[in-house]
């Protein structure tokens, strides 16, 4: 018996409890049989004593745990009865080791009787019953059994009956607990194989070990009543060498579905196994279901590898092609997707052109003059329809130079900077075809206004075009603002002697057109520009 520290116990062996005889103390002997045999007294003053066959513990302690034996001498016969008592600390939570047999019922009105070791002695001494559920007292429940009406899963738990009884004018308590479980009703269905699907092909290597699973649904909340097994060519495999069968049963999910799984293990796959048909069979009283499986050697992965490599190569080639022809694609799509806001920015020019010359370098001056006065307008204006502002060609004679530069820059969508090896190195700066005394020096007003708009106001993009080779000095001779732009976007280099130097479909001019606005500015007459 598993008991709790501090409680009382009145125990009478079942063999004499049902007898109606009047027993005397002398007829019975109780003793504790541990490392030392210790007789139990029959004197009332002892916490542990006996009255005839009744063994009393008025306050159980941990030290009372042990084996107790009752001996009765009657009619020359010796009758022994033993009981093992284990006392648990009162502070230890109530665990399954102290619970009596659980009540598991599908009934919605279950009866929970107080366990016999407490109920019968309690009635013998005219004790009173009270009931607790999960250590919470239940009102108006004082019978030796507890009825739970219209029970649901919320009524599940540990029910404890407490017997309060009196001995020698002192009150004692004895307790016993058991668990109530409401079982869901069960239902049987015709078996249905979940896996595998019939005519399934199972891959296996010859000479290797393999396993095939078969799972079937047979009902709800059932413990048995359904069988699942494997056959080979319609014959049972139970006696076949090299084949093993493992059966497992599980109740799955809130719906309590019964799933039975049969695992067929083949220790060594043979050539005959590839020619055979394996069948999983599920059967119960309502019917039968089956699914067939055949073994097949695994296919070579070489075609898959070749296919995967081909896809990767095609993807890389496609990505490279898209990257290489990205500018061509963008220019192509510009023909078909017209921007709805093409004239809403109020700009008149597509680009404001700034360039510099290095006095004394005739060849470089001629190259720059040829590019600015002939090639640039020929390609961007005549062939592509853009509108450029170039000093010496588009300025209005007599207009204030500072106001002219600031106004035209603000009316332009792009700032195009023509870089030469001598740009910003102390050479003379001009935005006209020929330098004059009115031409600003390095870092002049054109550069200041243009770079301010590009770097500070961020209202226009900058297109850097490089003529010639910069040499060992690189771009270090350029003003700080231009060096910043060069770091952000590498200049587009134009070669006078290159093939298609003045053709709009050359690689150079495609890149320039890509950086220009998608649609040219509105053809506003010069007279309308204020």
Name the percent of the chain lying above pLDDT 90: 19
Q: How confident is the model at residue 282 (pLDDT cuts 50, 70, 90)?
A: very high
Q: Which residue has the higher pLDDT, 78 or 514?
A: 514
Task: Spell out the domain ranges in the chain.
Answer: 2-88, 101-182, 188-296, 302-334, 351-528
Radius of gyration in angstroms for the set of CA atoms belonging to the chain, rounded to a whole number: 51
- The answer to whether residues 79 and 23 touch, using CB atoms and an 8 Å cutoff, is no
Q: Are 241 and 235 in contact (CB under 8 A)?
A: no
Most confident of 61-70, 184-193, 296-305: 61-70
Q: Is 287 helix (H, G, I), strand (E, B) or coil?
A: strand
Q: Residue 192: its pLDDT value, please?
A: 92
Same fold, 2-88 and 351-528: no
* pLDDT at residue 52, as a whole number: 85
Instruction: Provide the pLDDT confidence category of residue 362 given band limits of 50, 70 and 90.
Output: confident
* Superfamily of chain region 2-88: Immunoglobulins (2.60.40.10)
Q: What is the dihedral of CA 220, 226, 232, 235, to 10 degrees?
A: -160
Mean pLDDT of the chain: 82
pLDDT in tens, 449-504: 666 766 666 567 889 998 878 877 888 877 777 888 888 888 988 887 777 777 88
CA distance 426 to 359: 10
Q: Is 281 in contact with 254 (CB distance < 8 Å)? A: no
Q: With a cut of 70, say whether residue 295 has pLDDT above it.
A: yes
26 forms beta bridges with: none
Alpha-carbon span 511 to 379, nearest angstrom: 13
CB of 465 closer than 8 Å to CB of 416: yes
Residues 305-319, mean pLDDT to the nearest whole number: 88
Q: Which H or E run contains 332? A: helix 326-334
Q: What is the pLDDT of residue 458?
A: 58
Q: At how many degrees (to 10) do helices 326-334 and 302-324 cross?
A: 60
- At the top level of CATH, which class does the domain 351-528 belong to? alpha beta
Q: Distances in Å between the alpha carbon of 503 and those of 107, 355, 370, 508?
A: 95, 21, 15, 9
Q: Is the domain defined by 188-296 classed in CATH 2.60.40.10?
A: yes
Structural contact between residues 213 and 207, judged by C-beta atoms closer than 8 angstroms: no
- What tokens does 405 get? 């530069």
Residue 284, strand partner residues: 226, 287
End-to-end CA distance of the chain: give it in Å, rounded.
111
- Is 218 or 302 the better-scoring residue by pLDDT? 218
**Mean pLDDT of the region 89-106:** 84
Q: Mean per-residue pLDDT for 312-318?
A: 89
Q: Virtual CA dihedral for 200, 204, 210, 214, nearest 10 degrees? A: 0
Average pLDDT over residues 198-221: 89
Q: How does residue 292 score in pLDDT terms, banded at 50, 70 and 90?
A: very high
The first and second tokens of residue 378, run together, are: 């020929």
| Residues 420 and 442: beta-carbon distance below 8 Å | no
The β-bridge relationship of strands 278-284 and 187-195 is: unpaired
Name the CATH topology of 101-182. Immunoglobulin-like (2.60.40)
pLDDT greater at residue 343 or residue 388: 388
Query: Can you give the pLDDT at residue 339?
Result: 52
pLDDT, residue 432, reads: 39
pLDDT digits 0-9 by tens, 415-447: 888 888 765 544 434 343 333 333 333 345 566
> What DSSP character marks residue 46?
S
Q: Token pair of 227, please?
A: 């069988």
How far apart CA 283 and CA 293 sit, in angstroms, is 18
pLDDT greater than 60 at residue 401: yes
Contact predicate 415/448, CB 8 Å: no
The per-residue pLDDT for range 23-78, each reduced to its tens digit, is 888 888 898 887 777 888 888 888 898 888 889 999 999 998 999 998 887 666 67
């Amino acid at each position: 018996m598993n008991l709790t520290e501090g409680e009382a116990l009145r125990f009478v062996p079942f063999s004499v409890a049902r007898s109606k005889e009047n027993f005397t103390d002398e007829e019975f002997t109780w003793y504790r049989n541990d490392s030392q045999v210790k007789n139990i007294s029959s004197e009332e003053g002892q916490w542990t004593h006996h009255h005839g066959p009744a063994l009393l513990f008025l306050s159980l302690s941990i030290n009372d745990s042990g084996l107790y034996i009752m001996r009765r001498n009657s009619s020359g016969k010796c009758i022994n009865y033993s009981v093992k008592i284990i006392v648990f600390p009162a502070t230890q939570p109530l665990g399954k080791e102290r619970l009596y047999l659980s009540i598991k019922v599908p009934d919605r009105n279950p009866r929970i009787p107080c366990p016999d070791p407490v109920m019968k002695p309690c009635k013998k001494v005219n004790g009173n019953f009270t009931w607790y559920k999960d250590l919470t007292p239940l009102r108006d429940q004082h019978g030796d059994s507890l009825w739970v009406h219209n029970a649901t899963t919320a009524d599940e738990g540990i029910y404890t009956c407490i017997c309060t009884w009196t001995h020698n004018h002192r009150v004692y308590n004895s307790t016993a607990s058991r668990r109530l479980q409401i079982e869901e009703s069960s239902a049987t269905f015709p078996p249905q194989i979940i896996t595998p699907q019939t005519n399934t092909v199972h891959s296996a290597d010859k000479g290797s070990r393999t396993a095939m699973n078969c799972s079937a649904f047979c009902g709800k909340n059932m413990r048995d009543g359904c069988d699942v097994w494997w056959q080979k060519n319609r014959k049972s495999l139970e006696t076949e060498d090299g084949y093993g069968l493992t059966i497992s049963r599980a109740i799955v999910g809130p719906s309590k579905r019964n799933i039975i799984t049969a695992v067929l293990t083949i220790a060594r796959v043979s050539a005959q196994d590839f020619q055979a048909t394996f069948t999983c069979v599920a059967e119960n009283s309502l019917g039968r279901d089956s699914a067939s499986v055949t073994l097949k050697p695994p296919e070579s992965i070489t075609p898959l590898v070749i296919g995967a490599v081909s896809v990767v190569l095609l993807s890389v080639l496609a990505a490279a092609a898209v990257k290489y022809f990205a500018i061509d694609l963008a220019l192509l799509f510009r023909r078909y997707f017209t921007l709805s806001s093409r004239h809403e920015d109020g700009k008149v020019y597509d680009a404001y052109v700034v360039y510099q010359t290095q006095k004394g370098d005739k060849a470089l001056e001629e190259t720059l003059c040829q590019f600015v006065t002939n090639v640039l307008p020929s390609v961007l204006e005549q062939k592509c329809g853009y509108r450029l502002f170039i000093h010496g060609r588009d300025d209005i004679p007599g207009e204030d130079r500072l106001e002219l530069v600031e106004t035209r820059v603000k009316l332009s969508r792009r700032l195009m900077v023509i870089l030469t090896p001598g740009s910003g190195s102390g050479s003379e700066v001009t935005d006209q075809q020929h330098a004059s005394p009115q031409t600003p020096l390095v870092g002049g007003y054109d550069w200041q206004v243009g770079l301010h708009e590009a770097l500070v106001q961020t209202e226009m993009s900058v297109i850097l075009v490089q003529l010639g080779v910069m040499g060992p000095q690189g771009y270090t001779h350029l003003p700080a603002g231009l060096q910043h732009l060069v770091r952000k976007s590498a200049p587009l280099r134009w070669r006078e002697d290159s093939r298609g130097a003045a053709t709009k479909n050359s690689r150079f001019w495609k890149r320039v057109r890509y950086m220009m606005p998608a649609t040219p500015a509105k053809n506003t007459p010069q007279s309308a520009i204020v």
